[in-house]
Amino acid sequence: MKRFLGVDGGGSKTAFALIDHEGRVLGAHREGPAYYLETGLDGLREMLARGVHATLTQAGGAAPDFAFLGLPAYGEDSSLQEVLDGIAAGPLPKGRYRCGNDAVCGWAGGLAAGDGIHLIAGTGSMAYGEWAGRSARAGGWGELFSDEGSAHWIAVAGLNVFSRMSDGRLSRGPLHAVFRRHFQLQRELDLCAAIYGRDGARRSDLAALAPLVAEAAEAGDAQAAQLFTRAAEELAQMVQAVRQQLAVPDDAGVSVSYSGGMFRFASFVDTLRATLTARGYALQAPRLLPVFGAALYAAKLAGAPLASEAIRRLEAHSRATAG
């Protein structure tokens, strides 16, 4: 029975899953971030080696027939392309794996590798889609000047709102109290030490603050709620940009799936759905977890695509895991 390994690398965590050709999950594991700009290349290499070893050990240790590894920021630095392509050469046999951007995992899982567009809004953000054999992406230019609609973007915008409320440039809403309580601030300016002090907050640390903004929005903070409305609009623009690049016919219906931590906020999903519906798109829940999408794509790359029954088995496993 052929076996396929999927690795869904993210800015906060990395998921590993080994499946067989019938869609049964033989092993699964989770590690930390795969964002090499934060962890360093050696840190990424070591993390992948640990994760692959732990996952394969659960199924007897034999190497998979093929693997796909989705990595954040893959394809965004030509000088590192060869290095990243060989990043798993230790734990995986040469020629039996391929690396790509982590957006591919989301698309392959969300749409079971079918035509359509996938939105990622986790630590970072991006839209990726495939149509009639063509592929395209939009967004995902990094947290310094992009990643609109992501958890990092929401958190930084929330910190900005807190600073404005503290100064009196905005009237104080629930967000002010939520942030002050979370950071246990004696004075508002102590936030600077919490964010910039010591080694400074990392990208993933800042992204982890997004639930605070969601809490404030649910408590009736108009400024916080507006940030989620803006996030939905930014993500909808990414979807439209991908559609244009893919040259999708105007009269074609396009499914949009999603993955990432931002979609844990039900009100945000509702806002995004309304925003996309107004533009003629159908937002649908992802069929598979991104890590299973990576394994499904590995099978496709190996020339052994999974049958419908195997995909349905992975769908059931995805629902059980997510639940």
Confidence category of residue 57, pLDDT binned at 50, 70, 90: very high
Whole-angstrom Cα distance, residue 281 to residue 117? 10
Burial class (CB in 10 A: 0-12, 13-18, 19+), 30: middle
In angstroms, the first-to-last Cα distance of the chain is: 29
Q: What is the pLDDT of residue 323?
A: 66
Mean per-residue pLDDT over the chain, rounded: 95
- DSSP lists the bridge partners of residue 6 as 17, 68
φ, ψ dihedrals at 100, nearest 5°: -160, 180
Q: What is the pLDDT of residue 309?
A: 97
Whole-angstrom Cα distance, residue 28 to residue 80? 28
Domain parsing of the chain, residue ranges: 3-112+287-322, 151-221
pTM of the model: 0.88
Confidence category of residue 30, pLDDT binned at 50, 70, 90: very high
More confident residue, 200 or 307: 307
Class of domain 3-112+287-322: alpha beta
| 200, pLDDT greater than 80 | no
Q: What is the pLDDT of residue 260?
A: 87
Confidence category of residue 196, pLDDT binned at 50, 70, 90: very high
φ, ψ dihedrals at 8, nearest 5°: -105, 95
Q: What is the pLDDT of residue 214?
A: 97
Percent above pLDDT 70 for the chain: 100
